[in-house]
Amino acid sequence: MEINSPVFIVEKGYDGLSLGEEEHKMGIKGSSTRQVFFMDCKVPVENVLGEIGKGHLIAFNILNIGRAKLAAAALGGSKQVATQSVEYANTREQFKLPIAKFGAIKHKLAEQAIRIYAIESAIYRVSNLIENKEQELMATGMSFEKALLGAAEEYAVECAILKVAGSEVLDFVVDEGVQIYGGYGYSADFPMDRAYRDSRINRIFEGTNEINRLLAVDMILKREMKGELDLMGPAMAVQKELMAIPDFSNGESKLFDDENKAIANMKKCILMVAGTAVQKYMMTLAKEQEILMRIADMAIDTYMAESILLRVQKLVGIRGEAGSALEIDMARVYLFDALDRLNVSGKNAINAMSEGDEQRMLQMGLKRFSKMTPVNTIEARRRIAKKLIEENKYCF
């Protein structure tokens, strides 16, 4: 077989990043970067990877796997930085007290732990889904390689969510780590300096976080258009629910009833906003990137909140409620804050695509679906921080 078009290969530049053909056309160069071209190069049939002309499908699916792996790598870095933050807070003194004694530092340590636990929960969830799908495909006689790529394609949306959430959790944890270290956090003699620089690239690797947000929504909408997923049916049902009288009945409440209801309502918010966007813009929706980004943020917050809640529910089934008290705290705090973030994202999207009575109705629906029983997040964070400080490390 001959390759008639040139094969373009670029070695890595000084920053460890491969520069592609387009960058070179634009005159962007890295230190000690060299170009290699192969024209009319004969490639033995046994050396061809995949099907000729369909290499892009393999490349795209490899990106899905890479996104999930990036989230796992970010998780490991986050845990290390969280441990270093706790250790430093226990040893650094101000006003003759370890700074770990101060409420502002406790808040930071606890929030680091909450976000780490949430992304870890989502990673476990998606990994299990991919593994189960992979086993299902292999049971039909498919090879391991094709089954893995098929499973990754099935959960491409979730992989994009993991990539965004994982890289942004790491950035948050490292940024707070720098703040806990104070001036030393900016010094190359202390660990936060390198962690701060190293974490930043993860929001660019495997597709920027902006692209992954847009991709996540785009893939869902394409599946709906292909008939693989029904979005408009549930979206119309939510719009009808907005016109109905709310159910104020209060039956016997069980553990996590309020939280499960909140997750269900978060999904209704997404359907309401996304359904309105599809109706408004139809085929031009892809151009409304700001709205798509807000919908993606709503989806990410919902998936993360549901993941941590599912994990804690399973944990309670193993340890019991008393033995899972701090994990319950983390799930409730994360969900409570996620609802606020979802509300803001939804408001911005609604205000951009509606006005008058329609806007008021949508805003009322958003407010109705983003409510939750009040949570004392300050006390919950104090309890979480107390455990971290006693263990002198990230310990969940």
Domain boundaries along the sequence of the chain: 2-47, 55-210, 230-391
What pLDDT sits at residue 77? 97
* Tens digits of residue pLDDT in 186-241: 999 999 999 999 999 999 989 999 999 999 999 998 888 888 888 878 888 887 88
Mean pLDDT (the chain) is 89
- Topology at the third CATH level for domain 230-391: Butyryl-CoA Dehydrogenase, subunit A; domain 3 (1.20.140)
Specify the pLDDT at position 33.
56
Lowest model confidence (mean pLDDT) among 222-226, 254-258, 269-273, 323-327:
222-226
Residue 306: per-residue pLDDT: 98
- Check residue 252 and give its pLDDT: 65
Question: Residue 115 corresponds to which tokens in the numbers above?
Answer: 């976000």
Q: What is the predicted pLDDT for the residue at 293?
A: 97
pLDDT of 262 over the 80 cut:
yes
Options 120, 134, 206, 327, the catalytic residue: 206
Categorize the per-residue pLDDT at 8 as very low, low, confident or very high, splitting at 50, 70 and 90: very low
What is the three-state SS of the chain? CEECCCEEEECECCCCCECCHHHHHCCCCCCCCCEEEECCEECCHHHCCCCCCCHHHHHHHHHHHHHHHHHHHHHHHHHHHHHHHHHHHHHCEECCEEHHHCHHHHHHHHHHHHHHHHHHHHHHHHHHHHHHHHHHHHCCCCCHHHHHHHHHHHCHHHHHHHHHHHHHHHHHHHHHHHHHHHHHHHCCCCHHHHHHHHHHHHHCCCCCHHHHHHHHHHHHHHHHHCCCCCCHHHHHHHHHHHHCCCCCCCCCCCCCHHHHHHHHHHHHHHHHHHHHHHHHHHHHHHHCHHHHHHHHHHHHHHHHHHHHHHHHHHHHHHHCCHHHHHHHHHHHHHHHHHHHHHHHHHHHHHHHHCCHHHHHHHHHHHHHHCCCCCCCHHHHHHHHHHHHHHHCCCCC
Section 249-263 average pLDDT: 84
Q: What is the mean pLDDT of residues 158-167?
A: 98
Same fold, 55-210 and 230-391: yes
Bigger pLDDT: 137 vs 61: 137
Structure tokens at 188: 């190359």
The pTM of the full predicted model, rounded to 2 decimals, is 0.86
- Fold exhibited by the domain 55-210: Butyryl-CoA Dehydrogenase, subunit A; domain 3 (1.20.140)
What pLDDT is attached to residue 191?
94
Give 40-84 pLDDT, tens digit per residue. 888 888 888 777 777 777 777 789 999 999 999 999 999 999 999
Residue 29 C-beta-side C-alpha neighbours within 13 Å: 6
Tell me what percent of the residues of the chain surpass a pLDDT of 70: 89
206 is known as an active-site residue: yes
